[in-house]
A = this chain, B = another copy of it.
Amino acid sequence: MEEEGIVKRPSEGGESNGTGAADGISAVIPGWFSEMSPMWPGEAHSLKVEKILYQGKSEYQNVMVFESATYGKVLVLDGVIQVTERDECAYQEMITHLPLCSIQNPKKVLVIGGGDGGVLREVSRYSSIEQIDICEIDKMVVDVSKQFFPNLAVGFEDPRVNLHIGDGVAFLKVVPVGTYDAVIVDSSDPIGPAQELFEKPFFESVAKALRPGGVVCTQAESIWLHMHIIEDIVSNCRQVFKGSVKYAWTTVPTYPSGVIGFMLCSTDGPPVDFQNPVHLIDERDELNKTKGPLKFYNPEIHYASFCLPSFAKRVISSKTN
């Protein structure tokens, strides 16, 4: 069995402690990929591997693609699942349309991270948009997506897209003040290359890059697993963004605990009511007809994503508005 030597087993009598994730192939069941991390100790989600399609090590991280038995192709960075073909619609559609449906006629959008192209695919549904900049740190992610995930990488084909390979933090420092209507931060977890994207100086750069009343949406972890991280993100954002600060969340089966959150903020300026979208995606629009209908997002699920379970509401609501 070809994968036998690649998808590793723990040593006899030992236990997996998440360090295997550094190899990008932390599997513990022969023929299966198991996702283990100190970010979610004591639990692991495993997918049956049909075939490993790619393994590489970039300057920043381990990159792996495999064909799974029941979730289609899977992209893994440093041992953590980023995308599966079966459920990527939930994440890509929500992180994009929650901010972009909250403002009228977005024209200039910046994506930080998002090198797989899935967010670009969704951003390019808006005919009002004139310029889509993306700054991804790791060229290998872009190349791998173009090779193995055509339904994500299709996002790069839009002529409005300008791809920058580089550090998002550095990129933002030289952006002229007030450039963007929206910034979408599609990052991995705050362990590894994405760490700075969860810190206050980064949010300050984002705020400067946005026009008055501009919006940002960042990947913001799981209410079940990372309430302490979320609490910090909310506090930082509350200090930096003088408009609205709101937390939303949705279901993604292959992310730890099955949910992922989003931090939505707006700068001082025309008020933004994140929970009640002002823009409705018109599926008859030419751009959307060619892309096919949305699989996940709709105005009701937009509204619902801001409703929090009581345990999360008690922590988050005191800090949001």
Q: A residues bordering B, Cβ < 8 Å? A: 1, 4, 10, 12-16, 28-32, 34, 40-48, 68-71, 87, 89-90, 224-225, 251-253, 257-259, 293-298, 300-301, 303-305, 307-311, 313
Contacts and interface: CB of A to CB of B under 8 A. Distances in A.
B13 A42 contact: no
Instruction: Give how many copies assemble into the complex.
Output: 2
A139 to B, nearest CB: 31
Contacts of A298: 309-310, 313
B295 A301 contact: no
A295 B307 contact: no
Given A259-B253, A296-B310, A13 B41 contact: no
A45 B29 CA distance: 12
Residue among A34, A293, A297 having the largest count of chain B Cβ atoms under 10 Å: A34
A34 B29 contact: yes
Given A42-B69, A43-B48, A251-B309, 11 more contacts: A1-B13, A12-B30, A28-B28, A40-B70, A42-B48, A43-B71, A224-B251, A251-B251, A258-B258, A258-B259, A295-B310
A34 B13 contact: no
A68 to B, nearest CB: 6
A319 to B, nearest CB: 17
Contacts of A13: 1, 4, 30
Given A258-B257, A298-B309, A307-B304, A70 B42 contact: yes
Across chains A and B, which 10 residue pairs bring their CB atoms closest together, nearest first? Answer: A258-B258, A42-B70, A42-B69, A304-B304, A304-B307, A253-B257, A300-B307, A42-B48, A296-B309, A44-B46
B69 A41 contact: yes
A30 B43 contact: no
A71 B42 contact: yes
A305 B90 CA distance: 16
Residue with the greatest number of chain B CB neighbours at <10 A, chosen from A70, A297, A304 = A304
Contacts of A87: 224
A221 B251 CA distance: 15
Contacts of A69: 41-42
B43 A45 contact: yes
Contacts of A48: 15, 41-43
Contacts of A47: 42-43
A89 to B, nearest CB: 8
Nearest to A300: B307
A4 B48 CA distance: 23
A238 to B, nearest CB: 21
